[in-house]
Amino acid sequence: MISPTKEDHDKFYSGKADDRIQFVINDGVRIIRGPNAGKVGAVISLQAVNPETTYLVELGDGSGDIDVPQSNLELIAPPE
């Protein structure tokens, strides 16, 4: 795993998503694949950018924080 650069972190924490970093701090997400599929949470940290962008997700059920690859996540709209 390759750690994010300062520029990557700056974009992540300032809310500037792009093709490589598709989620930003506090985005609400649903896990769509893997052992935690179906759980929801919030993105709290950018963990890696290569071979796949990976985030630390705080699970909404209070069961902890887990690393989740970008391809296993989908953005959920905040409640209106």
In the chain, where are the structural domains located? 6-75
Domain 6-75 has CATH 3.40.50.2300: no
- Gyration radius from the chain CA atoms: 12
**Amino acid (1-letter code) at residue 76:** I
List, for residues 68-78, the tens digit of each pLDDT value. Answer: 999 999 999 76
- From the list 36, 38, 37, 4, the residue with the least C-alpha distance to 23 is 4
Mean pLDDT of 3-25: 95
What's the mean pLDDT when you consider all of the chain? 94
What's the confidence (pLDDT) of residue 78? 62
List, for residues 39-74, the tens digit of each pLDDT value. Answer: 999 999 999 999 999 999 999 999 999 999 999 999
Mean pLDDT of 21-33: 96
